[in-house]
């Protein structure tokens, strides 16, 4: 087992350009816990609606646990070979966090009672609408996911985001509470082979100016 610190230090632009989905990893590479924590901290610095921070990071590094993910991820070998698999969870009850955050802010004197009450009632009001909890969980956890991949790249590690897994089996295997929905898996590690080249549509196809 080798512990590496694949530090690269890239600018944001360099990290965006250098990131590609890597599916083949050197096995038995251990990411130093400090580096992994830095990557997760950077991911957690993502913006979120009302700052509710709808993401949780279920981190799997034990080889036996990564191997157990193989059938759940339809045999996609990267879950077993990468150094870590992070299951990004979205919080379906982030309104509860809102209450905690604004109560703490009130106690710390950083918001007034009026602001606290307005924010809590706004959040609770939004969460009475059925689609909101899931939309917000997916939307906001998606932002943290992207940030995690760029942070990993900036520190010299590669990733692949994955939606190809059996949700029911994953929830069962990892005892994921009902409050959280698995948004995606991200593998992190050192590339054993480069990513497949991919192209992007031109701006002429992507950009709509002013109105359709
Ligand atoms: C939500 C999401 C789910 C994905 N699921 C998988 C997956 O299950 N397995 C896989 O190998 N790649 C998966 N990918 C990676 C995409 O295939 C890849 O991002 C895309 O082809 C562009 O390539 P690039 O990431 O190298 O730029 C997924 C990407 C996203 C954003």
- Mean per-residue pLDDT over the chain, rounded: 95
Residue 199 has pLDDT above 60, yes or no: yes
pTM recorded for the entire structure: 0.95
Give the distance (Å) from ligand 1 centre to CA of residue 21.
6
Q: What is the mean pLDDT of residues 38-51?
A: 97
48-52: long-range contacts, CB 8 A cutoff, minimum separation 24: 48/140, 48/143, 48/144, 49/136, 49/139, 49/140, 50/98, 50/119, 50/122, 50/123, 51/101, 52/91, 52/94, 52/95, 52/97, 52/98, 52/101, 52/123, 52/136, 52/140
In 73-112, which ranges are continuous DSSP H helix? 78-81, 94-107
pLDDT at 59: 98
**pLDDT tens for residues 80-91?**
999 999 999 999
Q: Which atom of ligand 1 is nearest to the CA of 164?
A: 8
For ligand 1, is residue 202 a contact (CB within 6 Å)? Answer: no
Q: Which atom of ligand 1 is nearest to the CA of 20?
A: 26
For ligand 1, is residue 66 a contact (CB within 6 Å)? Answer: no
Domains contained in the chain, CATH given: 2-206 (3.40.109.10)
Please state whether 210 falls in left (phi above 0), alpha (psi between -120 and 50) or beta: left
Confidence of residue 130 (pLDDT cuts 50, 70, 90): confident
Give the distance (Å) from ligand 1 centre to CA of residue 37.
24
Residue 5 has pLDDT above 60, yes or no: no
For ligand 1, is residue 183 a contact (CB within 6 Å)? Answer: no
**pLDDT tens for residues 13-26?**
999 999 999 999 99
The values of phi and psi at residue 196, to 5°, are -70, 140
For the chain, percent of residues with pLDDT exceeding 90: 94
């Amino acid at each position: 087992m080798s512990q590496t610190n694949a530090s690269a230090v890239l600018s944001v632009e360099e990290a965006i350009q250098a990131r590609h989905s890597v599916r083949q990893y050197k096995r038995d590479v251990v990411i130093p816990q400090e580096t992994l924590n830095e990557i997760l901290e950077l991911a957690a610095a993502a913006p979120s609606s009302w700052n509710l921070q709808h993401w949780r990071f279920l981190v799997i590094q034990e080889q036996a646990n990564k191997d157990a993910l193989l059938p759940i991820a339809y045999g996609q070998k990267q879950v077993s070979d990468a150094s870590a698999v992070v299951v990004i969870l979205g919080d379906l009850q982030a309104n509860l966090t809102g209450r905690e955050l604004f109560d703490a802010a009130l106690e710390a004197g950083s918001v007034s009672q009026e602001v606290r009450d307005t924010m809590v009632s706004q959040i609770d009001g939004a969460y009475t609408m059925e689609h909101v909890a899931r939309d917000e969980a997916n939307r906001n956890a998606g932002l943290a996911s992207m940030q995690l991949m760029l942070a990993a790249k900036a520190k010299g590690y590669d990733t692949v985001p994955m939606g190809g897994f059996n949700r029911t089996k994953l929830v069962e295997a990892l005892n994921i509470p009902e409050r959280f929905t698995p948004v995606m898996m991200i593998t992190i590690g050192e590339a054993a082979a480069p990513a497949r080249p991919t192209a992007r549509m031109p701006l002429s196809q992507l950009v709509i100016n002013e109105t359709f």
